[in-house]
Amino acid sequence: MASGANYQMQSYATDDPIDQFTSERPTAKWLIDNKIETVFGNGIFNEKVRFTNDSNYQNYSGDDQVTFNRKDTVRPAPYQHYEAHDGFSLNETELANNGIILTDDKSAQMTDAEKIQIVDKLQEGWTTLKDGFQENWDLEIHLDGSANPKAVPGLDALVSTTPDVGVIGGLDAANAAWWRNWALMGISTATAGNLVAQLEKLWRQTITYGKLGAPNYIPVGSDMYDALLADALKVIGRQINMGGTSTGGVTVDPSTKALAFKGVPVVWDPTFDALDEELGPITHPWKKRGYFLNSKAIRLRPVKGRWMIRRTPPRVYDRYTYYFGLTADYGLTCRKRNSNAVFSIA
């Protein structure tokens, strides 16, 4: 059992299987691609946030007296780390029913048939463990964490639809205008070009302050993707390229190869739609949302040495059951909220 388990876990877990996200979970993949291993001293990681230059700028002439100040420009934004687990078990009864006989006799040898069956049994368990972990972790990092105090405050908290409400990273956004993301909710699509025009203004807001550059990731729900594509087609002319030939006709493809804004791909995130199905009616449906996100501001911070750890707890003395698990310990932090924005259509 131990040998078979080790074989399967080496095959599926050694190279961080959670990193092997498919395109159906683009936001999780984006976070993992930009992750930074971090040490959370005393359970806390402090992002250093500069909220002012505390300038002492003055005009003077000749012998005029000038003054000097002691700068107070930085505040720590403390973030916690959070743990997640998924696991499965196998007991001797179900193994025996599948033709696998376990014994405490250390001299016993597995038959070839048992080797094949136990590997298949573990492979199925491990594959579904990995997929289930990814699915639920992906949902968690989108939500604000309010439904579960042990869950990480995710995208809906860091880039909030109500940016002047709540304490994020230990800082109260109600008392600090500089600690707010941008939000433009309920954009009308009745007039051609309005959605694009409003996003142009919102984009400029995300690059107004600081030096982190422009957003580099734009995830959207299905309704927002369709609305943005439709709005773009209304205001942008299209051309059929005949490829330099006047015979044989042309191929007409009414679809678009890609959708982008400011050169950044607009990515449909299926999890947005899945969240609407799970949560039911909410004020700002995920299908209608989109985000301008900056990877230099929002960071996935796995706790060093505790990211995607495979577990094989020992069998307890009074149960003939074997356990296999996967755990992760991580935080999500934001060091500059006003480099990010959330938007939605009406």
Domain map of the chain by residue range?
A: 26-46+74-103+111-237+257-345
Tokens in use for 143? 């939500």
- Phi then psi dihedrals of residue 2, to 5 deg: -65, -40
The confidence score (pLDDT) of residue 7 equals 42
Interval 153-165 mean pLDDT? 97
- At 98 the pLDDT is 66
Residue 17: which pLDDT band, with cuts at 50, 70 and 90? very low
Q: What is the mean pLDDT of residues 314-329?
A: 89
> What pLDDT is recorded for position 114?
58
**Average pLDDT, integer, range 50-56:** 90
How many whole angstroms separate alpha carbon 261 and alpha carbon 264? 5
Q: Are 27 and 271 in contact (CB under 8 A)?
A: yes
Confidence of residue 8 (pLDDT cuts 50, 70, 90): very low
**In this predicted model, what pLDDT tens digit does every residue of 120-145 receive, in sequence order?**
677 778 888 888 898 999 999 999 99
Query: How far apart (Å, rounded) are the C-alpha atoms in residues 294 and 310?
Result: 31
Length in residues, the chain: 346
Maximum mean pLDDT: which of 22-36, 50-64, 310-324: 50-64
User: 171 — phi, psi (to 5°)?
Assistant: -110, 130
* Unique residue bearing structure tokens 């594509």: 229
Region of poorest pLDDT, from 3-12, 106-115, 226-235, 262-271: 3-12
Determine the Cα–Cα distance for residues 70 and 282; give it in Å rounded to an integer: 47
CB atoms within 10 A of CB 146: 11
Contact 329, 10 (CB under 8 A): no
Does 5 have pLDDT greater than 80? no
Q: Could you read off the pLDDT of 201-228 as tens digits, one per residue?
A: 999 999 999 889 999 999 999 999 999 9
Q: What span, in angstroms and rounded, lies between the C-alpha atoms of 141 and 159?
A: 12
23 alpha carbon, distance to own chain's centre: 13
What pLDDT is recorded for position 345?
98
**CA distance linking residue 193 with residue 177, whole number of Å:** 30
Q: Please, where are the H alpha helices in 207-285?
A: 222-235, 270-279
Q: Helices 112-142 and 26-33: crossing angle, nearest 10°?
A: 90
Asked if residue 303 lies in contact with residue 81, where contact means CB atoms within 8 angstroms, the answer is yes
Map residue 219 onto helix, strand or coil: strand
Torsions phi, psi for 131 (to 5 deg): -65, -40
* 171-207 confidence digits (pLDDT tens): 999 999 999 999 999 999 999 999 999 999 999 999 9
Structure confidence at residue 15 as a pLDDT band (50, 70, 90):
very low
Helix (H) or strand (E) holding 13: helix 2-13
- The C-alpha atoms of residue 52 and residue 331 are separated, in whole angstroms, by 26
In this predicted model, what pLDDT tens digit does every residue of 275-310 receive, in sequence order? Answer: 999 999 999 999 999 999 999 999 999 999 999 898
Percentages helix, strand, coil for the chain, rounded to the nearest 5? 35, 25, 45
Closest listed residue to residue 180, CA positions, set 161, 154, 152? 161
